[in-house]
Amino acid sequence: MSYAGCILGSAYVRDVFAFPGKKGETMGMPAFLKRALRKQRTEKIADHAALEYRPLLGAWLIEMTLMLNWHTPERYGHWSDIFEDCDFLSLTGMSMPADEKTRTRRRPTGTGSRNRLVRCLGSLRKESLSPDLPLFANIELLSRVLGLTDADQAVLAFASALNVFPAFKNAISRRNCPTSNQLLCQVLARLTGIPEGEIRTSIGMDGLLLTTGIISLEQGLTDLENKLDLIDGLDGILLTPHENEDALIGRFLKRASTPALDLGNFPHLSADTDTLRRYLAGALEERCHGINVLFHGPPGVGKTQYAQALATELGADLYEISFSDKQGDPIKGGGRLRAYNLCQRLLCRKQNALLVFDEIEDVFPSASGFLGLLFGEGGDETCVRGAGKAWINRTLERNPVPAVWISNRIGHIDRAYLRRFDYSVRFPIPPARVRMDIAEHHLGEFAPSLAWLERIAASDEISPGQLETAAKVARLASGGDPSQALVLVEQALERSTSLLGQKRLPPQRAGRVSYDLSYLSTDADIPRLVAALRRRPQGTFCFHGPPGTGKSELARHLAAEIGKPILVRRASDILDMYVGESEKNIAGMFDDARQQDAVLLLDEADSFLADRREALRSWEVTQVNELLTQMEAFDGIFICTTNLMDKLDPASLRRFAFKIRFDTMTPDQCWAMFRDQFVRLGGKGEDAAVWETAVRRLERLTPGDFAVAVRQLELLDITATPEELYELLRRECAAKGGVRQEIGFAAH
């Protein structure tokens, strides 16, 4: 049976008196509301769109009135409120009873009201109703695309009438009719002539309408007008004429934007790229179901760009789930998941289609229950209303179109959902060489110098998204002046890093001292160590000693000598306020190092490797355990630095293959570095020689102290003298209690 035949040949062929209803079956309307409605006596209707469908809508209203006993007056001698409802009267074509207009003493009865309704129903059935009207035609198109049954079409027609015709919904809402699922099936069977069992199957949780998200069903006892709801935006689509199925589908789907980057901009993900390219290509060719890939990482690292570039590489059409409806209003998580299910069904006929679902945080409910909701985590619970985990799991397992899910943070997502993803890629902040390429890509139009680009790319916290935004600010605000544009880029990045709590841009390289291994005071043969790491770049190292002794700089030197990038992490980068998140960050740190084939440097390691015997909280122990576990499984170079060796956990110390102590400089090193740095500042070696004895007497002097002193001199922009350099170093030592006060000529 066609859709038009289904709804036009409704239950009028049956005896309308077979459903007399019982008095008191429905709840009465409050008296104050009835009095207010009586004032709305008019023969006009504001809902002009409903007038084209009046024969159907009016017949449905009368059928429901007869079935649910709305026509019976509450008080003897008074007509039912339906005969005073402007929307009911306009849609049915009825007029107010004459005795009400003339205020006669004629007392109406229930039988008299029923007879009026039956006569009106007969008249409505004789009126023509074209099956080519937009609502009917679009439901026919959806039926062909989605494979809807007659029952599905009937339910969708009724839900559409409730959502697209305010007059129809108002006429029902004023009846105050609490409705169960069973009563809804009975009502729809009465209106459409479809067997009640088929209606029940259609609105079931496994029915096509609910699984595709076209409609949602309010569970429990709910007012009839609110029982069925359409997916966001569908009401306007159904009332708009469409030439064919493709035109209708195009209203639901949104093509993804053209990527600004390509896969070549993600060399640090090359291993994942090769796997995903083969996996998705095979899934598209074999039309596999249940293909789900997860991209996760901090905002702005290129997850969406990567998905777009990957689709371009595969020659696939990429579609995305919208964040807003046609009016620009945001779509909540539940609505977006329903839209996803519908798009899956619409795209399943396409050979080369991929679907991307960005910002999934508002979709998946939190595993932390109330606490997750308290902290704003987890999705809109309406997305699983009446279904629970099983429904979402089926959504992930049965999708016919491969899907890419993107998230900025996955800590709150229940593991029951996470294990449904076939393959996951963690997106870190790109390594330095990649950041350099991306910085040049976004900022190259302003003709920056190589040194300037290197300084921008040196920040390991600034994301590609921040670079792109800064470029936009500079482009619009610079007036075409390249030098001004570079200033604006730095200004925009400074504002962005401050807002996000990131490290500021590295300063200009003022105050840097030349790096020389001879200035280090360690208990290891560093040249021999470098040679060994060139042969086999693997091992765990603990660099310990006072601040400024060159621990971090040696780590960078080692990475440069063996030709590997260095990934630096600090306690502030890893520690998280949520239980379990620090452990995930630790694991992610090692994963990033593997992806980048980088030397991993963990500064402030004492924040994680504290003695577990002194731990007061369970998570302090689990953090240590996680770090030790990751260390043992890591096959690269892992370096920890600490100033507090005595605070470290004894078990953790055994995990380090090398424990290298850094000490303050010897007198010979102090004098050699003093002379070299003074010459570098423009002085002469013979002028510095007068201060050799005094410099040799400085205690606890470190290479870091020289860097501070040189930075001070360059900041003051003065010509350095041996006396000024010595005085600055002496002050640094004095601050540490490491200088003896010399008297008289002994200072020279």
424 pLDDT band (50/70/90 cuts)? Answer: very high
Alpha carbon distance, N-terminus to C-terminus of the chain: 110
The Cα–Cα gap between 325 and 251 comes to 11
Nearest to 358 by CA among 380, 337, 342: 337
β-bridge mates for residue 223, sequence order: 178
The contacts of residue 574 (CB under 8 Å, 6+ apart) are 582, 585, 586, 589, 608
Site of tokens 């870091």: 704
User: pLDDT tens for residues 242-268?
Assistant: 887 777 777 777 788 888 788 988 888
Mean pLDDT is lowest, of 215-224, 272-281, 451-460, for 451-460
- Do 706 and 677 form a contact (C-beta atoms < 8 A)? yes
The contacts of residue 709 (CB under 8 Å, 6+ apart) are 677, 725, 728, 729, 732
Structure confidence at residue 380 (pLDDT): 45
The Cα–Cα gap between 190 and 16 comes to 9
- Do 444 and 399 form a contact (C-beta atoms < 8 A)? no
- pLDDT value at 186 more than 50: yes
The Cα–Cα gap between 530 and 513 comes to 21
Q: What mean pLDDT do residues 398-408 have?
A: 90
User: pLDDT tens for residues 561-612?
Assistant: 888 888 888 877 777 766 677 888 888 888 888 877 889 998 877 776 765 4
Burial class (CB in 10 A: 0-12, 13-18, 19+), 528: exposed
How far is residue 744 from each of residues 358, 606, 741, measured CA to CA in Å? 73, 44, 10
Structure confidence at residue 473 (pLDDT): 94
User: pLDDT tens for residues 681-697?
Assistant: 888 888 888 899 999 99
How far is residue 212 from each of residues 230, 395, 400, 724, measured CA to CA in Å? 11, 9, 12, 77
Amino acid (1-letter code) at residue 703 = P
The contacts of residue 460 (CB under 8 Å, 6+ apart) are 429, 432, 435, 567, 568
User: pLDDT tens for residues 10-34?
Assistant: 433 333 323 333 333 333 444 433 3
- Do 417 and 396 form a contact (C-beta atoms < 8 A)? yes
User: pLDDT tens for residues 687-733?
Assistant: 888 899 999 999 889 998 998 888 888 777 777 888 988 999 999 88
Structure confidence at residue 329 (pLDDT): 59
User: pLDDT tens for residues 269-313?
Assistant: 888 999 999 999 999 999 889 899 999 988 888 899 999 999 999
> What is the token pair recorded at 716?
């003051």
Q: How many CA atoms within 13 Å lie on the side-chain side of 347?
A: 30
Nearest to 232 by CA among 255, 207, 251, 246: 251
Per-range mean pLDDT, top range of 228-232, 477-481, 650-654: 477-481
Dihedral sign, CA of 235, 236, 239, 241?
A: negative
> What is the token pair recorded at 360?
């999934």
Burial class (CB in 10 A: 0-12, 13-18, 19+), 414: middle
Structure confidence at residue 187 (pLDDT): 92
Structure confidence at residue 98 (pLDDT): 56
Structure confidence at residue 200 (pLDDT): 92
- Do 164 and 49 form a contact (C-beta atoms < 8 A)? yes
Structure confidence at residue 514 (pLDDT): 60
Q: What mean pLDDT do residues 34-45 have?
A: 38
Structure confidence at residue 14 (pLDDT): 34
Residue 62 backbone dihedrals phi, psi, to 5 degrees = -70, -40
Residue 524 backbone dihedrals phi, psi, to 5 degrees = -130, 155
Chain mean position to CA 102: 65
Question: What is the DSSP annotation of 431-495?
Answer: PHHHHHHHHHHHHGGG---HHHHHHHHT-SS--HHHHHHHHHHHHHHSTT-HHHHHHHHHHHHHH
> What is the token pair recorded at 532?
């060994």
Mean of all residue pLDDT scores within the chain: 79
Q: Give the percent of the chain with pLDDT over 70.
A: 80
Q: What mean pLDDT do residues 657-669 have?
A: 92
Structure confidence at residue 281 (pLDDT): 93
63 pLDDT band (50/70/90 cuts)? Answer: very high
Mean pLDDT is lowest, of 339-353, 440-454, 720-734, for 339-353
DSSP helix/strand/coil, 690: helix
Under DSSP, the state recorded for 684 is -
In this structure, the number of other CB atoms found within 10 A of the CB of residue 311 comes to 22
Site of tokens 């596999």: 288
What stretches of 274-422 adopt beta strand conformation (E)?
292-296, 317-320, 353-357, 403-407
- pLDDT value at 387 more than 50: no
Structure confidence at residue 668 (pLDDT): 93
Nearest to 540 by CA among 663, 653, 646, 662: 653
The Cα–Cα gap between 705 and 354 comes to 57
User: pLDDT tens for residues 96-131?
Assistant: 665 554 444 444 556 778 888 888 988 888 888 777
The contacts of residue 154 (CB under 8 Å, 6+ apart) are 6, 7, 188, 191, 192, 194, 199, 202
Starting at the edge strand found earlier in the chain, the sheet holding 637-642 runs 521-522, 658-663, 539-544, 637-642, 599-602, 566-569
Q: What torsion, rounded to 10 degrees, do the Cα atoms 445, 447, 450, 454 define?
A: -50
Dihedral sign, CA of 186, 192, 196, 197?
A: negative
The Cα–Cα gap between 11 and 190 comes to 6
Q: How many CA atoms within 13 Å lie on the side-chain side of 381?
A: 8
> What is the token pair recorded at 540?
């765990």
Question: What is the DSSP annotation of 207-257?
Answer: SHHHHTTSEEE--SSEEGGGSEEEPTTHHHHHTS--SSHHHHHHTT-EEPP
Structure confidence at residue 513 (pLDDT): 57
> What is the token pair recorded at 36?
């207010």
Nearest to 148 by CA among 205, 214, 97, 88: 214
**pTM for the predicted model, two decimal places:** 0.65
Under DSSP, the state recorded for 556 is H
The Cα–Cα gap between 457 and 507 comes to 12
Under DSSP, the state recorded for 525 is -
Nearest to 313 by CA among 280, 355, 359, 356: 280
Burial class (CB in 10 A: 0-12, 13-18, 19+), 685: exposed
Residues 290, 291, 292: CA angle, nearest 5 degrees:
110
Mean pLDDT is lowest, of 48-62, 74-88, 668-682, for 74-88
745 pLDDT band (50/70/90 cuts)? Answer: very low
Strand 254-255 relative to strand 317-320, pairing? antiparallel
- Do 181 and 219 form a contact (C-beta atoms < 8 A)? yes
Q: What torsion, rounded to 10 degrees, do the Cα atoms 410, 413, 419, 422 define?
A: -50
3-state helix, strand, coil in the chain (%, to 5): 55, 10, 35
- pLDDT value at 150 more than 80: yes
> What is the token pair recorded at 155?
């339910």
Under DSSP, the state recorded for 603 is S
Residue 521: its H or E element: strand 521-522
